[in-house]
Amino acid sequence: MRLVILGPPGAGKGTQTSRLASDLGIAHIATGDIFRAMRSSTDTQQSPLADRLRSYMDRGELVPDELTNEIVAHRLAEPDAEPGFLLDGYPRTTEQAKVLDAELEAQGRPIDKAVKLMITGPEIIARLAGRLVCPVDGATYHLRSNPPRVPGLCDLDGTPLVQRPDDTEEAVLRRLEVYGKQTKPLYDWYAARGILDEVDAIGTPDEVYERLAKVVGLHRNGVGGAT
C-alpha cells in the first residue's frame, strides 16, 4: 500500500503515521526525519544530496521543491519502500504532488490513498499552545493532557519548563495561515483523483488510530494488533 497522510500542525500526524506504517509493514517516510538524518550523515553515497541540503538548512532557508522532490525520490527508491510506503510531511504543495504522481505512475506504483486528518482551529491551538518542554532533557508536557506533577517544573529534574517559540498562540495561527495557503489545495488535488478520505482527528490517540486503520483497510482485533 502507498499512502499520503495530510493534516495541519497539531493534527497528530507523527504519532499516528509511525504506528500505522508499523502495523501495515510499510516504510514510514517523514521528510523532517530524512532532512535531519541527511544533515548529519557521513554516508558518501548521500554526499551530493546531503551537501546541497545542508547548504540551505545551515543558512536557515527553506529547502526548495526541486531538491525536496529529488531527496524523496531517492528515498522511495530504497528497497524497504518497494512493498509500500507512507508519506508524512510530503507532498506539501500541489507542485510537489504533481512531480510525485508523475514519477510513481511512470514506475507503475501510484498512490493508493490520501488521508486527511480533520481537526478544528481551536483544537489545534489548544494542543500546541498548551505544550511545555524541559530545556535540559527534552521531556514534553501538556497543560491539559499531560501536566507536570508540580506546575511549571519538569518531573525528572525540576527544571522550569518553557514554551517553544513556535507553540505560542500567535505562532500557531501563523503556521495555520501558511498551511492553509500551501497545503489545503492538496485536498482538492487528491479528491479530484478519487483517492482522498477523511478521518476525524479529535479524540484520544487510540480512538483516532482506529478510525485511520479502518479507512486504510487495516482490519484490527482491538487496539495494538492487526488481524
The question of whether 13 is a catalytic residue gets the answer: yes
The question of whether 54 is a catalytic residue gets the answer: no
CB-CB neighbours of 148 under 10 Å: 18
CA distances to 3, 31, 50, 140, 182 from 19, rounded to whole Å, are 13, 17, 28, 19, 26
Q: Of these residues, 36, 39, 98, 164, which one is catalytic?
A: 164
Q: Of these residues, 2, 13, 19, 116, which one is catalytic?
A: 13
Q: Return left, alpha or beta for 158; rule: phi > 0 is left, psi -120 to 50 is alpha, else beta.
A: left
The question of whether 59 is a catalytic residue gets the answer: no
Q: Of these residues, 52, 92, 211, 220, which one is catalytic?
A: 92
Per the listing, cell 498512490 goes with 111
Q: Of these residues, 52, 113, 175, 220, which one is catalytic?
A: 175
The question of whether 131 is a catalytic residue gets the answer: yes
Per the listing, cell 498562540 goes with 169
The question of whether 52 is a catalytic residue gets the answer: no
**Is 13 in contact with 124 (CB distance < 8 Å)?**
no
Catalytically active residues are 13, 92, 131, 164, 175
